[in-house]
Amino acid sequence: MKKPTKDTMKATLRKQLSFLFSRKITVVILLLVQAGFVFFAFFSLYEHFIYIYLTLTALAIALVGYIASSNENAGYKIAWLVPFVIFPGFMALVYIFIKTQISRHSFKKTVEKKIVQTEKYLTQNEEIYADILENEDKAFARLSHYISSFGKFPTYRNTTAQYFKNGEEQFEVLLQELRQAKQFIFIEYFIVEQGVMWKQILEILLQKVKEGVDVRFLYDGVGAQTILPGKYDETLKSYGIKCKVFNPFVPFMTTVQNNRDHRKIVVIDGHTAFTGGTNLADEYINAKVKYGYWKDSAVMIKGDAVWSFTMMFFQMWELDETASADYSDYTPHKYNQNIFESDGYVIPYSDSPLDNESVGKMIYLDIINKAKDYIYFTAPYLILDGELTTALGYAAKSGVDVKIVVPGIPDKWYVQKISNCYYKELLDQGVKFYRFKPGFVHAKNCVADDIVATVGTVNLDYRSLYLHFEDGAVFYKNSIVKDVKKDIMDIIKNDCTKITVKDMNERNVFDKIFSGVLKIFGPLL
């Protein structure tokens, strides 16, 4: 065996030291120290002071009653109540700690204030709504009214959309559109990682900065925490790119870290926008293989509906600013005087975890409940609450063809275990599941009855539906609907195997028990 040279040994040592003193290890150590201190302090008191024990137990009983009678989702209630049974006193302290954090309440007020400030710029054109109500479908009019009233985003005409069935297709068009930018480029993503994809985008952005284009980039503080160099936002600023980190990660125990910006938005000159499942990392365009072939999707929107995406961006961008921009400088017609082509109706939407209104979930429920012939999904994660489970099951039992495409190679093993429980429950009710053999499905698509579809960032799990900032677009009588359907049908025919009740029943006993236990805590994962 060849002995390692001194240079090899030094390089290995440097690599090991670099890992030990990396941001990831430092963060983990700080969090473990904090958790250790809490556990030590609690159990020291718990062991020696009977009065504290009795007081905390009484408090736990009161909190159990409070949780049981609260308006929280049933899944969250169960996920909280089970640990209360095992560690009542400790969980009482944890619950109070989480629910009384000043940082989260302050963050919530800041977000709510910005959304209120922008509401007057997102009013519904009453002529469009009246046309839907009188000449189209009253059922769709109700969805339009809901998103406008509670989601705060209007319905548009004079808009076209192009569907991309994978990240590679979107990437080529995105590069073309970025090169054509004349006035401004707004980019907001959950994940950005240095590589083939980001290198090409960054080269264009740097060129656009030289041309005087207003380039702004917003990325999530957790999504890029361990994959970007430290203070990467400062690096981009030094290039002339205006850059911000949304909700920067701090190594302290705080629930505000749960509310991540999971949105994917690009706005160019006010008249062109992109959204969908793809992030800015190489696996999304299959330039890097992580979990087999990465199946994703995205859309490009041109026209009046882009205005909603522009305002979504400003709602996040201006959270740390006291003054607001002159939004009239960014309208769709500011730099495009032509009349936009109209193709059906488009409703861009955003979903905040801080307003007690689960817009993404309600859109899914609306489409499921109104489906007459079929409803198809692509879903990377399946951790459903009771309402979605019931709606999907009832649709299938009432004769609607319900098909859901799920990953063949999951990116999170524990999510796959939990999903198995839902597969079994819904298969028994007639829902059909198809496993994508080549790899991982990351697309978040839904289409029904050849008339309505939605594409965006909202997963069928608790984190997307209740904890993250999300976005997407609903398309009604738009040509994109048939493209979404065709894509799903093609992969079911060519790339999927059907999951059967027998497959679920043949799992070993340990796997069934372990999946069931994980399911209890699914809402917290």
pLDDT at 103: 65
H or E element, residue 107: helix 102-118
pLDDT at 19: 47
Are domains 157-351 and 359-524 of this chain identical in fold? yes
pLDDT at 65: 78
Two structure tokens written together for 56? 């905390």
Q: What integer best gives the mean pLDDT of the chain?
A: 87
Express as a percent the part of the chain with pLDDT over 90. 61
What is the third-level CATH fold of 157-351?
Answer: Endonuclease; Chain A (3.30.870)
> What average pLDDT does the segment 233-240 reach?
96
pLDDT at 40: 63
Two structure tokens written together for 316? 């996040």
The residue with tokens 């190679």 is 409
Amino acid symbol at 432: K
pLDDT at 89: 67
**What's the sign of the alpha-carbon dihedral 254, 256, 262, 264?**
negative
What are the extents of the domains in the chain? 22-100, 157-351, 359-524
User: Does the structure show a pLDDT above 60 at 25?
Assistant: no
The per-residue pLDDT for range 322-375, each reduced to its tens digit, is: 888 999 999 999 998 888 999 999 999 999 998 889 999 999 999 999 999 999
The per-residue pLDDT for range 270-310, each reduced to its tens digit, is: 999 999 999 999 999 999 999 999 999 999 999 999 999 99
Q: Band of the pLDDT at 511, cuts 50, 70, 90?
A: confident
User: How many secondary structure helices (H) and strands (E) does the chain include?
Assistant: 19, 17
The answer to whether the CB of 454 falls within 8 A of the CB of 345 is: no
pLDDT at 21: 46
The answer to whether the CB of 332 falls within 8 A of the CB of 267 is: no
User: Does the structure show a pLDDT above 50 at 314?
Assistant: yes
Contacts of residue 483, Cβ cutoff 8 Å, sequence gap at least 6: 163, 165
Of 91-100, 152-161, 493-502, which gets the smallest average pLDDT? 91-100
pTM of the full predicted structure? 0.86
Q: Band of the pLDDT at 135, cuts 50, 70, 90?
A: confident
User: Does the structure show a pLDDT above 60 at 508?
Assistant: yes
pLDDT at 254: 57
| CA distances, 179 to each of 8, 76, 160, 203, 289 (Å) | 44, 46, 20, 10, 27
The per-residue pLDDT for range 32-55, each reduced to its tens digit, is: 665 665 566 556 655 555 666 677
> What average pLDDT does the segment 507-522 reach?
81
Round to whole Å and give the CA distance between 223 and 53.
40
Q: Which CATH class is domain 359-524?
A: alpha beta
Please measure the distance between the N-terminal and C-terminal CA atoms of the chain and give it in whole angstroms: 46
Two structure tokens written together for 117? 């400030």
Contacts of residue 56, Cβ cutoff 8 Å, sequence gap at least 6: 46, 88, 89, 90, 92, 93
Round to whole Å and give the CA distance between 286 and 484.
20
